[in-house]
Amino acid sequence: MVDLLAGSPTGKTGGQPLNAIDGQMGFTKGGYGARLNATWTQGTTVVGAGGMSPSGVLTFSDLTTINLRLFANPGDIPEVAVKHPWLRGTQIRFEINNIFDSKPKVRDAAGDVPLNYQSDLLDPLGRTIGITIRKLFLPPPSYFRRQFEQRQQQQQPRSPTG
């Protein structure tokens, strides 16, 4: 039975943290953008971890992770879109997750790290860096103009001809 109020474990951060903060910030202008996300969870103590620790008590540290994402949409930049129309619908993204390679730290009552709770086992990825290129294949702008004009013609009231 899991009893969160009595310190039962729920995941790599130990028990249910009493406090957690999640913040996000973003900026976009002229085809460029940035997004920053930060998460902090308070440390927890797990009681009754008999097989994991001789004393049955494990202490999990606070955990803070910060993620950054930078992106560009070349099709939204007028100078680029005019010279290279094939870039419409393209996005180039550079992202770093867990910038500072934060990992949970677990200690038993003696101050030792239990074998199954080593930081690299709890979070094997750590910091990750990625580059993504996405391309949406869109019809040319003339297609949308024609669709709009056709709808406008269909919606015009017809005059009675006698």
pLDDT tens digits along 108-156:
888 899 888 898 888 889 999 999 999 998 787 788 888 888 888 888 7
pLDDT at 161 over 80: no
Strand partners, 59: 45, 107
Lowest-pLDDT choice from 25-39, 91-105, 113-127: 113-127
Q: Please tell me the total number of residues recorded for the chain in this structure.
A: 162
Residue 161 lies in a domain: no
Residue 140 lies in a domain: yes
Residue 84 lies in a domain: yes
pLDDT at 25 over 80: yes
For residues 88 and 127, which has the higher predicted lDDT (pLDDT)?
127
Residue 162 lies in a domain: no
For residues 98 and 85, which has the higher predicted lDDT (pLDDT)?
98
Residue 160 lies in a domain: no
Containing domain of residue 136, as a range?
A: 4-155
Residue 57 lies in a domain: yes
For residues 81 and 140, which has the higher predicted lDDT (pLDDT)?
81
| Inter-residue contact 31 to 59 (CB < 8 Å) | no
Reported confidence tier of residue 8, pLDDT bands at 50, 70, 90: low
How many structural domains comprise the chain? 1
Overall average pLDDT of the 36-43 stretch? 95
pTM of the complete model: 0.73
Give the pairing type, strands 106-108 and 90-97: unpaired
Give the pairing type, strands 57-60 and 20-29: unpaired
pLDDT at residue number 115: 86
Look over the chain and give the mean of its residue pLDDT values, rounded to a whole number.
85
